[in-house]
Amino acid sequence: MRMLINVAESVVADALRGMAAAHPELAVDVENRVIVRRDAPVAGKVALVSGGGSGHEPLHGGFVGPGMLSAACPGEVYTSPVPDQMVRAAAAVDSGAGVLFVIKNYTGDVLNFDMAAELAEDEGVQVAKVLVNDDVAVSDSLYTAGRRGTGATLFVEKLAGAAAEEGMPLERVEAVARRVNDNARSFGVALSACSTPAKGSPTFDLPAGELELGIGIHGEPGRERRPMMTSGEIADFAVHAVLEDLDPRSPVLVLVNGMGATPLLELYGFNAEVHRVLRERGVAVARTLVGNYVTSLDMAGASVSLCQIDEELLRLWDAPVHTAALRWGR
């Protein structure tokens, strides 16, 4: 095993201690695994709480702060957090205006957040939920657990977070979150498997010279394996997969997201190809974000997320945000 860790059991707690040391503007409860913006609860403001397995950093803790999440609950590596964490987070950030849970569509996340919503409501917190399910690699059929929630989670958290910051009531913040999810789609590729600290070796075997198409963010293989392709060929495949499902009639937000082990040199090159394909398809780009935002430990690869926007969503995207991983406008 080549990992910069002490022992597998303490990786999440160790990371939280480091996060606390780096970001005094966050209140990090290492023992209970809750990250809260220090000025919460903000009077009159709807609070946003998200969470999920660790290993996707900066998602979600890196997105806690003014303009985005009020609190995040990191679970164990690739394991959803437990309801106690979400209830604690909701109680810490609720100003009385209610809490929106942003939930990625994975069985564990959904079950734990559903239980937490019930418990929080028992304690008098008004809770709304939005499910992010943007991954076009999974067909949305009766026989599967539905599409996965992946890169578009960033769009939902940023845009709904800005709506809450503007003072919109819970129903409107929830409506913005749903509109964003309905208009966002993603597709991911892996050039290598990742290694979880618990296992210490790659979660699946991906020989050199091959790639996985249609991966999620939990180290699971994709739907299909093919011989290695160029950055341009991958961009063609990924963008077409997204556009097959989303036919944008207005400009889009673009997220070219690294899975953790792919350097920016490659991600920017890939972004150039993504823009080329979008241009060829006549899709206008409003804003672009390139970097490691919704990662999968040390996996090499990238995902493309597109979100069709209107004037209101563009205003919310450009609104100030001040978090550990996303920061602009103030």
Partner 1 sequence: MLDADFFHRWLAAAAAAVDREADRLTELDSPIGDADHGSNLRRGFTAVVATPEKEAPDTPGAVLTLAGRQLISTVGGASGPLYGTLLRRTGKALGEAPEVSEAEFAEALRAGVDAVAALGGAALGDKTMLDSLVPGVDALPTSYAAAREAARRGALATIPLQARKGRASYLGERSVGHQDPGATSSALLFEALAEAAGEAPGE
60 is catalytic: no
**62 touches partner 1 by CB under 8 A:** no
Interface with partner 1: number of residues (CB under 8 A): 35
The window from 140-148, 164-172, 253-261, 271-279 that contacts partner 1 (CB under 8 A) reads: 140-148
Among 89, 138, 206, 255, binds partner 1 (CB under 8 A): 138
The window from 74-82, 158-166, 285-293, 304-312 that contacts partner 1 (CB under 8 A) reads: 74-82
The window from 78-86, 94-102, 239-247, 268-276 that contacts partner 1 (CB under 8 A) reads: 78-86
Nearest to partner 1 of 74, 248 (CB atom)? 74
Among 75, 98, 161, 260, binds partner 1 (CB under 8 A): 75
218 is catalytic: yes
For the chain, give the secondary structure using H, E and C.
Answer: CCCCCCCHHHHHHHHHHHHHHHCCCEEEECCCCEEEECCCCCCCCCEEEEEEEECCCCCCHHHECCCCECEEEEEEECCCCCHHHHHHHHHHHCCCCCEEEEEECCHHHHHHHHHHHHHHHHCCCCEEEEEECCECCCCCCCCCCCCCCCCHHHHHHHHHHHHHHCCCCHHHHHHHHHHHHHCEEEEEEECCCCECCCCCCECCCCCCCEEEECCCCCCCCCCEEEECCCHHHHHHHHHHHHHCCCCCCCCEEEEEEECECCCHHHHHHHHHHHHHHHHHCCCCEEEEEEECCCCCCCECEEEEEEEECCHHHHHHHHCCEECCCCEECC
Footprint on residues 32-61 left by partner 1 (CB under 8 A): 53
**107 touches partner 1 by CB under 8 A:** yes
Nearest to partner 1 of 107, 230 (CB atom)? 107
What's the closest the beta carbon of residue 102 comes to partner 1, in angstroms? 17
Over the window 235 to 274, marking each residue x when it contacts partner 1 by CB under 8 A and - when it does not, the resulting string is ----------------------------------------
What's the closest the beta carbon of residue 230 comes to partner 1, in angstroms? 25
Q: Which is catalytic among the residues 23, 60, 218, 240? A: 218
Residues with catalytic roles: 56, 218
